[in-house]
């Protein structure tokens, strides 16, 4: 398989403890003979991926949106991707087999982060609640008596 395409890059935005921006996730590994010709790297092997937006806290994915675009990911770069057209998608679908029309993320990226983050948030809210502070004061008063 051979075609010429233009490259794009993605870059996350945010601070150390939270981030948001475009993320790239590899969905399917394509056969080793599936290569494309690029201006940057010449002929290179690519895999099928998805590009989407994500908000995360301490690298735990909290929210994902715009999970609807398949892209090609070269083996030799983490932030480079190539947009694909419908014809290329059909060709890849024929090679790989059954691919959903809309990309799917892994369990961790779509749901797992929420399962970890929301109980932690509830626990922090409990610790910061006025009733928690009141119980702490009462226990200190009992100890001092």
State pLDDT tens for residues 50-89: 999 999 888 888 888 988 889 999 987 778 899 998 888 8
Angle between helices 113-128 and 130-144 (to 10 degrees): 50
Instruction: Let me know: does 75 contact 48? Beta carbons within 8 Å.
Output: no
Q: Identify the pLDDT of residue 53.
A: 93
Q: Identify the pLDDT of residue 98.
A: 76
| Structure confidence by residue, pLDDT tens digits, 12-47 | 454 457 888 999 989 888 888 888 888 877 888 999
Query: Which one is predicted more confidently, 122 or 13?
Result: 122
Q: Give the alpha-carbon dihedral of 67, 68, 74, 76, to 10 degrees.
A: -10
Full-model pTM: 0.67
**17 vs 123: CA distance, rounded Å:** 18
Q: How many CA atoms lie within 13 A of 90 on its CB side?
A: 3
Q: Identify the pLDDT of residue 73.
A: 92
Instruction: Let me know: does 54 contact 20? Beta carbons within 8 Å.
Output: yes
For 1-145, where are the E strands, in sequence order?
Answer: 4-5, 7-9, 12-14, 18-28, 35-38, 42-57, 60-74, 80-83
Q: Identify the pLDDT of residue 141.
A: 66
């Amino acid at each position: 398989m051979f075609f010429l395409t233009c490259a794009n890059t993605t870059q996350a935005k945010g601070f150390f403890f939270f981030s948001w921006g475009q993320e790239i996730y590899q969905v399917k590994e394509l056969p080793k003979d599936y290569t494309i010709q690029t201006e940057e790297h010449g002929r290179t092997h690519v895999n099928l991926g998805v590009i989407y937006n994500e908000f995360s806290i301490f690298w735990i994915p909290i929210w994902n949106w715009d999970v609807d675009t398949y892209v090609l990911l070269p083996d030799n770069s983490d932030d480079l991707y190539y947009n694909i057209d419908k014809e290329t998608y059909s060709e890849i679908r024929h090679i790989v087999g059954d691919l959903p029309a809309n990309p799917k993320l892994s369990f961790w990226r779509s749901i797992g982060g929420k399962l970890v983050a929301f109980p932690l948030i509830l626990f922090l809210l409990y610790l910061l609640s006025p009733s928690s502070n009141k119980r702490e004061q009462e226990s200190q008063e009992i100890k001092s008596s």
